[in-house]
C-alpha cells in the first residue's frame, strides 16, 4: 500500500513539475511579450507617470525646404520655399553631416576648423587663448549666442563702433582685433583684408545661413538683452555667483582650463589670455546677455537677471589686455571709445585703474 | 454554548485512524511553482545577459594596456592591501571591480580615473549624496588615508581594453551626441567637458572612454531619475534629464566602445 502510494506520488510529482514548467515558460513568454509590446509604459503614462517624450518635430524642416526648392525651380509661380524653423521657433541651420563634398565643402570645413580652433589655424593673428566658438556656441549655430546664420545676412551694415559701414569681413576682422587680441599675436595685427581666413570663415557662415532670409533680424540673433536690475549690479555678489557657477570650468582666477596636452578646453575670462578691453564682451550688458542665455554651459537661463549682471560685472572688473585703439591715456580712450558703455574701462577699483592692460608673458 | 463544551470529546472520536501527521496534506499549488520557474528563467537570462563575469578564457586575449602612464606602479609594488585582499571589515575592491580594475556590467571600470575623482566619489558614497548600498558601507569603513591610497592606485593603473559588445545601439547617434550634442534639446556635446576622446578633464570630469556601457547607462538613468546627486552644480542631473532613454543608451555604448588606443 505504501509502495503504491509513493509510486503514485512520484508520477504525480513529475507530472506536476511538467505542468508547472509549461505554465512557467508560458508565463515568462507572456510577460516578455507584454514588456516588449510597450503597453506597460502606456499604462504607466495613463496613470500619470512620466515617460520619454518624443522630441518636438521641426515646424518646417530643412528636408521640406529642399523639396520645396526643387518644386519651385520647376514651377517658379508655385509656392515659395520657406525658412526652416524648429518647434522652438528658431531657424534650423544645416548639421555637420550636410557639408557637401568638393571644393566648396573643403572651404566650409576649413572655415569650421578656423571657427572651432582659431588659435591653431590662424596662429599668427590670435594673441590670446580665445576661439570664435567660445562666444558663438555649437560651432556658431546656437540661437541667442550670436549665431553665424543670423550674422551672415546682417552685413554690410553701419556700426556705431566704427562710425562706418562694416562688411562681414570688416566685422570678423574686429573679432580678431578685440576678442582674439591680435595685438598680442606674433604678427601683432588681424589677418589682412582679403585673407583666405575671411574667405573660408565667410564660406562657412554662408553655408550655415543657407535658407535664412537676409536683412531680417531673425529670432535668436545676437545675445538677448537682459534688463538691467533696478538696484544695479554688485561685484561682491558677482564673486559669489562666479565661485558657485563658473569657477569649476573657468578657474578660481578666471584662467580657464587646459588639458594635459595644453589645449584650452574652457577659455580664460580675464587676464592676458582673454579678450581685450575693446571686445564687446567686456561690456557688462553684453556679457550678461550671453551668460543668461548660455551659462553655465548646459544650464541655459538658470541664473536670474540679477545674478547674470552681477557675475558679468565681476568678470569684467578684472584687468585684461589693453584696448588696441588707445593712443593717449586710458582716460582719453575711455572718453573716445567707451562713453556711455556699461564698462569698467577707465574706472579705478581697489586702487587699480582698469584699462591699463596686461600683456602675456612671452615664452 | 453547550455544544461547544462537548466538542473536545467528540473530536477524539472523529480522528481518522489512518491519519499520518507527516503526510503532506497540501502540495504547493501548481501556479506558485510556475511563477518560480518563470522568475528563474528571467533571472537566468538576466544573469547571462548582464551580470555574468567576464569569462576567464577571454582575459588573456585582451590587449592589455596601451597607454601606460609614466608613473604607473610596477606590478606587485605598493599595491594597497585593500585592492586584492580587503581587510577585516571590507571585501577587496577587485572582488567586484576586477583584478585589473576593469569592472563589469554595472560595476564601473576604475583604472585610469583621476585620483581626486575617485576620492570624491567614495566620500560622496559615505555622505549619501551618491547612493549605492555596497559602496556606502565600504566607504564608511575606510580611513581617508586608505581612500587616498586606493584612489591613487587605480588612477595610475593602465587601462585594460574592453571588448565592445554588439548591442545594436545607435553608434552614429552616440558619436553625434559626443561630438556635437543635440542643442535643440539643450544637450551640449560630451567632448566639451569630458575631453576630445572622452579621456576626461581635470578632476571634476571623469574619463568616459572604455567605461562599462551598462554602468554609464545606469548612472545617466540615476541622474535623470533623481537618485544620484553628486554632480558639480547638478550639471549631469540637468543634462541627463533632457536625454531620451535611446540617447542615453547610444552614448553609453559609444563611449564603452572607445578603446584606450583611441584615446590620446
- Give pLDDT tens digits for A296-351: 998 999 999 999 999 999 999 999 999 999 999 999 999 999 988 999 999 999 99
For residue A257, what pLDDT is reported? 92
The whole-angstrom distance between A28's CA and the closest CA on chain B is 5
- Give pLDDT tens digits for B116-127: 999 999 999 988
Share of chain B above pLDDT 70, in %: 75
- Give pLDDT tens digits for A145-170: 999 999 999 999 999 888 999 999 99
Do residues A229 and A306 lie in contact, with contact meaning Cβ atoms separated by under 8 Å? yes
Mean pLDDT for B14-39 is 77
* Interface check B95 vs A, CB under 8 A: no
Residue A37 falls inside a structural domain: no
Angle at which helices B245-257 and B213-225 cross, to 10°: 150
Same domain, yes or no, for A241 and A347? Answer: yes
Inter-chain CB proximity A55 and B244 less than 8 Å: yes
Instruction: Check residues B5 and A278 and name the one with the higher pLDDT.
Output: A278
Residue A342 falls inside a structural domain: yes
3-state helix, strand, coil in chain B (%, to 5): 55, 5, 45
Among A23, A261, A263, beta carbon nearest to B30: A23
Assess whether pLDDT exceeds 80 at residue B70: no
Measured between CA atoms, the residue of chain B closest to residue A251 is: B202
Q: What are phi and psi of A95, to 5 degrees?
A: -100, 165
Q: What is the CATH number of the domain that holds A255?
A: 1.10.760.10
Instruction: Give the ipTM of the model, two decimals please.
Output: 0.76
Same domain, yes or no, for A161 and A134? Answer: yes
Residue A314 falls inside a structural domain: yes
| Plot region of A181 (φ>0 → left; ψ -120 to 50 → alpha; else → beta) | left
Among A208, A230, A241, CA closest to A107: A208
Q: Which residues pair with A352 in a beta bridge?
A: A349
- Residue-averaged pLDDT of chain B: 79
- pLDDT class of A46 with cuts at 50, 70, 90: confident
Length of chain A: 363
Inter-chain CB proximity A16 and B27 less than 8 Å: yes
Residue A260 falls inside a structural domain: yes
Share of chain A above pLDDT 90, in %: 73
Count, in order, helices (H) and strands (E) of chain A: 15, 6
Q: What would the grid cell of residue B243 be?
A: 536625454
For residue B84, what pLDDT is reported? 83
Among B122, B124, B128, CA closest to B145: B122
Mean pLDDT for A108-118 is 96
Residue A224 falls inside a structural domain: no
Domains of chain B as residue ranges with CATH:
73-160 (1.10.760.10), 163-264 (1.10.760.10)
Same domain, yes or no, for A244 and A335? Answer: yes
State the Cα–Cα distance between residues A152 and A141, nearest whole angstrom.
12
Pairing between β-strand A348-349 and β-strand A257-258 as defined by DSSP bridges? unpaired
Residue A24 falls inside a structural domain: no
Pairing between β-strand A264-266 and β-strand A348-349 as defined by DSSP bridges? unpaired
Mean pLDDT for A120-130 is 95
pTM: 0.78
Instruction: Check residues A177 and A57 and name the one with the higher pLDDT.
Output: A177
- Give pLDDT tens digits for B194-222: 988 888 888 889 999 888 888 999 999 99
- pLDDT class of A274 with cuts at 50, 70, 90: very high
Same domain, yes or no, for A267 and A307? Answer: yes
Spacing of C-alpha B77 from chain mean position: 28
Mean pLDDT for A169-185 is 95
Residue B54: how many other CB atoms lie within 10 Å: 15
Same domain, yes or no, for A273 and A297? Answer: yes
- Give pLDDT tens digits for A200-230: 999 999 999 999 998 888 999 999 999 999 9
Same domain, yes or no, for A191 and A121? Answer: yes
Which residues in chain A are closer than 8 Å to B30, comparing Cβ atoms? Answer: 16, 19-20, 23
For residue A84, what pLDDT is reported? 93
Do residues A338 and A285 lie in contact, with contact meaning Cβ atoms separated by under 8 Å? no
State the Cα–Cα distance between residues B21 and B25, nearest whole angstrom.
9
The answer for residues whose C-beta is within 8 angstroms of residue A228's C-beta and 6 or more apart is A285, A309, A342
Among B218, B198, B216, CA closest to B207: B198
Share of chain A above pLDDT 70, in %: 94
Residue A35: how many other CB atoms lie within 10 Å: 11
Mean pLDDT for A232-259 is 94
In a mutational test of the A interface, the residue from B30, B35, B38, B237 whose CB has the highest number of chain A CBs within 10 Å is B38
- Look-up of cell digits 562688411: A167
* Last residue of one domain, picked from the residues A155, A173, A208: A208
Same domain, yes or no, for A104 and A197? Answer: yes
- pLDDT class of B59 with cuts at 50, 70, 90: very low
Residue A116 falls inside a structural domain: yes
Interior angle at CA B142, CA B141 and CA B146, nearest 5: 165
State whether residue A314 is helix, strand or coil.
helix
Residue numbers of the domain that contains A303: 235-353
Q: What are phi and psi of B16, to 5 degrees?
A: -75, 125
Same domain, yes or no, for A121 and A180? Answer: yes
State the Cα–Cα distance between residues A206 and A210, nearest whole angstrom.
6
Count of domains for chain A? 3
Residue A50 falls inside a structural domain: no
Q: What would the grid cell of residue B221 be?
A: 538613468
Which residues in chain B are closer than 8 Å to A21, comparing Cβ atoms? Answer: 34, 37
Assess whether pLDDT exceeds 50 at residue B115: yes
State the Cα–Cα distance between residues B178 and B254, nearest whole angstrom.
8
- Give pLDDT tens digits for A47-71: 877 666 666 777 899 999 999 999 9
The answer for residues whose C-beta is within 8 angstroms of residue A294's C-beta and 6 or more apart is A137, A142, A144, A145, A300
Inter-chain CB proximity A263 and B196 less than 8 Å: yes
For residue A11, what pLDDT is reported? 65
Alpha carbon of A94 to those of A55, A65, A86, A200, B12: distances in Å? 18, 11, 12, 17, 92
* Interface check A27 vs B, CB under 8 A: yes
- pLDDT class of B77 with cuts at 50, 70, 90: low
* Interface check B29 vs A, CB under 8 A: no
Same domain, yes or no, for A290 and A321? Answer: yes
Same domain, yes or no, for A76 and A120? Answer: no
* Last residue of one domain, picked from the residues A36, A65, A89: A89
E strands within A41-184?
157-159, 164-166
Do residues A93 and A149 lie in contact, with contact meaning Cβ atoms separated by under 8 Å? yes
Inter-chain CB proximity A298 and B244 less than 8 Å: no
Listed by number, the residues of chain A in 177-236 with a beta carbon closer than 8 Å to a beta carbon of chain B are: none
Assess whether pLDDT exceeds 60 at residue B67: no
Assess whether pLDDT exceeds 80 at residue A135: yes
For residue A332, what pLDDT is reported? 93
Same domain, yes or no, for A148 and A76? Answer: no
| Plot region of B96 (φ>0 → left; ψ -120 to 50 → alpha; else → beta) | alpha
Amino acid at each position: 500500500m505504501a509502495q503504491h502510494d509513493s509510486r503514485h506520488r512520484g508520477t504525480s510529482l513529475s507530472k506536476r513539475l511538467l505542468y508547472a514548467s509549461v505554465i512557467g515558460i508560458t508565463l515568462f513568454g507572456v510577460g516578455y511579450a507584454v514588456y516588449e509590446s510597450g503597453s506597460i509604459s502606456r499604462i504607466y503614462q495613463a496613470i500619470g507617470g512620466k515617460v520619454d517624450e518624443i522630441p518636438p518635430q521641426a515646424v518646417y524642416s530643412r528636408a521640406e525646404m529642399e523639396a520645396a526648392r526643387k518644386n519651385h525651380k520647376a514651377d517658379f509661380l508655385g509656392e515659395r520655399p520657406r525658412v526652416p524653423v524648429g518647434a522652438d521657433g528658431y531657424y534650423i541651420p544645416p548639421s555637420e553631416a550636410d557639408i557637401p563634398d568638393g571644393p566648396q565643402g573643403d572651404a566650409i570645413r576649413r572655415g569650421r576648423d578656423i571657427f572651432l580652433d582659431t588659435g591653431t589655424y590662424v596662429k599668427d593673428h590670435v594673441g590670446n587663448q580665445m576661439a570664435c566658438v567660445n562666444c558663438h556656441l555649437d560651432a556658431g549655430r546656437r540661437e541667442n549666442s550670436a549665431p553665424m546664420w543670423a550674422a551672415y545676412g546682417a552685413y554690410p551694415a553701419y556700426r556705431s563702433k566704427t562710425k562706418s559701414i562694416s562688411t562681414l569681413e570688416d566685422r570678423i576682422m574686429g573679432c580678431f582685433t578685440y576678442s582674439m587680441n591680435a595685438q598680442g599675436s606674433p604678427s601683432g595685427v588681424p589677418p589682412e583684408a582679403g585673407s583666405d581666413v575671411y574667405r573660408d570663415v565667410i564660406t562657412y557662415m554662408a553655408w550655415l545661413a543657407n535658407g535664412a532670409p537676409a536683412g531680417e533680424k531673425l529670432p535668436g540673433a545676437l545675445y538677448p538683452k537682459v534688463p538691467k536690475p533696478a538696484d544695479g549690479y554688485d561685484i561682491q555678489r558677482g564673486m559669489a555667483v562666479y565661485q558657485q557657477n563658473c569657477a569649476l570650468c573657468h578657474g578660481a582666477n578666471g584662467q580657464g582650463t587646459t588639458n594635459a596636452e595644453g589645449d584650452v578646453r574652457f577659455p580664460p575670462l580675464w587676464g592676458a589670455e582673454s579678450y581685450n578691453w575693446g571686445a564687446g564682451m567686456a561690456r557688462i550688458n553684453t556679457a550678461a546677455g550671453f551668460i543668461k542665455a548660455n551659462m553655465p554651459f548646459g544650464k541655459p537661463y538658470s541664473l536670474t537677471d540679477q545674478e547674470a549682471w552681477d557675475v558679468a560685472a565681476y568678470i569684467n572688473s578684472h584687468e585684461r589686455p589693453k584696448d588696441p585703439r588707445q593712443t593717449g591715456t586710458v582716460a582719453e580712450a575711455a572718453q573716445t571709445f567707451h562713453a556711455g558703455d556699461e564698462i569698467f574701462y577707465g574706472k579705478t577699483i581697489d586702487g587699480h585703474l582698469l584699462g591699463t592692460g596686461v600683456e602675456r608673458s612671452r615664452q | 454554548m453547550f455544544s461547544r463544551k462537548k466538542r473536545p470529546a467528540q473530536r477524539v472520536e472523529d480522528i481518522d485512524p489512518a491519519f499520518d501527521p507527516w503526510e503532506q496534506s497540501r502540495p504547493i499549488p501548481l501556479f506558485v511553482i510556475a511563477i518560480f520557474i518563470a522568475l528563474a528563467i528571467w533571472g537566468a537570462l538576466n544573469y547571462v545577459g548582464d551580470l555574468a563575469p567576464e569569462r576567464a578564457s577571454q582575459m588573456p586575449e585582451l590587449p592589455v594596456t596601451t597607454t601606460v602612464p609614466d608613473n604607473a606602479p610596477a606590478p606587485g609594488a605598493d599595491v594597497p592591501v585593500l585592492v586584492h585582499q580587503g581587510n577585516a571589515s571590507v571585501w577587496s575592491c577587485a572582488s567586484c571591480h576586477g583584478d585589473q580594475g576593469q569592472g563589469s556590467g554595472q560595476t564601473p571600470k576604475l583604472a585610469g580615473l583621476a585620483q581626486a575623482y575617485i576620492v570624491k566619489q567614495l566620500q560622496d558614497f559615505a555622505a549619501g549624496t551618491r547612493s549605492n548600498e555596497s559602496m556606502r558601507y565600504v566607504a564608511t569603513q575606510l580611513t581617508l588615508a586608505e581612500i587616498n591610497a586606493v584612489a591613487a592606485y587605480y588612477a595610475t593603473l593602465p587601462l585594460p581594453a574592453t571588448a565592445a559588445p554588439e548591442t545594436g545601439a545607435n553608434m552614429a547617434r552616440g558619436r553625434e551626441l559626443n561630438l556635437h550634442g543635440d542643442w535643440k534639446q539643450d544637450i551640449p556635446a560630451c567632448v566639451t567637458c569630458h575631453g576630445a576622446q572622452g579621456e576626461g578633464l581635470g578632476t571634476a570630469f571623469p574619463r568616459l572612454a572604455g567605461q562599462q556601457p551598462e554602468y554609464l547607462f545606469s548612472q545617466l538613468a540615476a541622474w535623470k531619475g533623481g537618485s544620484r546627486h553628486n554632480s558639480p552644480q547638478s550639471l549631469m542631473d540637468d543634462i541627463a534629464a533632457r536625454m531620451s532613454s535611446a540617447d542615453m543608451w547610444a552614448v553609453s555604448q559609444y563611449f564603452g566602445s572607445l578603446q584606450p588606443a583611441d584615446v590620446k
